[in-house]
Amino acid sequence: MNSKIMLVDDEPKILDGYARSLRKQFDITTCCGGAEALKLNEQEGPFAVIVSDMRMPEMTGVELLSKIKTIEPDTVRIMLTGNADQKTAVDAVNEGDVFKFLTKPCSPLDMGVSLRAAIEQYRLIRAEKELLEHTVKGSIAALAEVLSLVRPGVYGRTNQYKEDMLAVAEKIGVEGDWKLETTAHFSLVGTTSLSDELVERALSGAQLSADDHASFINHPIAGYNVLAKIPRIEEVAESIRYQLKNFDGTGVPEDSVTGEDIPLGARMLRAIMQLDLYERSGMPTTEALATLESESGLFDPAITQALKEIRHERLEEEIVEISVEHARNGMTLADDIKTLTGTLLITRGQELTDAVRERLNNFVSNGQVSPIIAVKIGQTSE
């Protein structure tokens, strides 16, 4: 595990003292100032722990640790200063998000205790992220793939939702993290108790009876009730709960939440799913975008604008036809895959994986699916 420590101070004697006392216990690097520390972090980082003096020329410790927080958010940050006033402490905590606040003179013994605690904190942070990356996210991706194969007409759409959500996130300057992907993948999990036929009609804009409409609009609450029980995805559950909530506060659930107080993932889903509905109903993309813009009270205008830019870029994308034999993981289907009898097998927007390709190959071998598929160019294979 990474246990590298950087000590930053503009007084070389202080750095040398800590280095001599602590180097046998820790992997320590020293820097004489913030600029040098940032350069070293770029060259040799990330560091598990960075300890910075507060008062340094050109760049204060708060400024340095704030930059480090942005560059390496997992690095544990400690502030060391001889100026133990309240404002310094508040700035260090609020801007640098420090783990500990130490005052000079700090003995090597006390520094060693703090460094061991900081390294343990770093270990916990990394362990949590690795659990998320390799266990939670892996399980979510596997379940989403199974759902898209078992009920392609319903869950296959969520791959398109995911692609759009990540593209919108990039356009509006929001980090497109795993929570947005998970929100997209499980946006329709509440429809599990509904028939494929009902969900397909609802997602295609068909007229529903009063009973069917009531059943369908309840699916976000049903999805929320399922996902809220799972640790670490509480924010995802909230986004799914509010996916039919309009930007002006109308829609479901019927509460006072409105505008940007609606979870971002929900605001994205509301616009993306409506645009997808228009396009799948046969409406030309330019007309679908114009219709979306005209319904200004229903959607976040920033998201609508981002979708407009994304769709115009995609209108210029080239689609190529290739044989299933030459398909590779990471490619994205440009059209629905149907059997020769018209049964939907895999929906457009599905990213090819080992499982998807195996299913395609099986149907091609049985003569039930055309061996030629349409994919978007520019996709890379594994």
Domains in the chain: ranges and CATH: 4-126 (3.40.50.2300), 151-316 (1.10.3210.10), 318-382 (3.90.105.10)
Report the Cα 153 to chain-centroid distance in Å: 25
pLDDT per residue rounded down to tens, the chain (382 residues): 689 999 999 889 889 999 999 988 999 999 999 999 999 999 998 999 999 998 888 898 888 999 999 899 899 999 888 765 556 666 656 555 788 888 888 899 999 999 999 999 999 988 877 776 666 667 777 777 777 777 777 777 888 898 899 999 999 988 767 889 889 988 998 998 898 889 888 888 888 999 999 999 999 999 999 888 887 788 999 999 999 999 999 999 999 999 999 999 999 999 999 999 898 888 888 899 999 999 878 999 999 999 999 988 876 666 788 888 888 887 888 888 888 888 888 877 788 888 888 888 888 888 888 889 888 765 433 3
**What's the half-sphere exposure (Cβ side, CA atoms, 13 Å) at 80?**
23
C-alpha dist (Å) from residue 94 to 29, 34, 121, 190, 326: 26, 19, 19, 40, 53
pLDDT at residue number 171: 93
SS3 state of residue 101:
strand
The DSSP line for 112-162 is HHHHHHHHHHHHHHHHHHHHIIIIIHHHHHHHHHHHHHHSHHHHTHHHHHH
Phi, then psi, of 92 in degrees rounded to 5: -65, -40
Of residues 150, 222, 139, 124, the one with CA closest to residue 178: 139
Identify whether the C-beta of residue 235 lies closer than 8 Å to the C-beta of residue 136: no
Q: Which residues contact 27 (CB under 8 A, 6 or more apart)?
A: 3, 4, 5
Structure tokens belonging to residue 328:
């590779």
pLDDT at residue number 377: 65
Structure tokens belonging to residue 339:
């059997």
Identify whether the C-beta of residue 369 lies closer than 8 Å to the C-beta of residue 343: no
> Which pTM does this prediction carry?
0.60
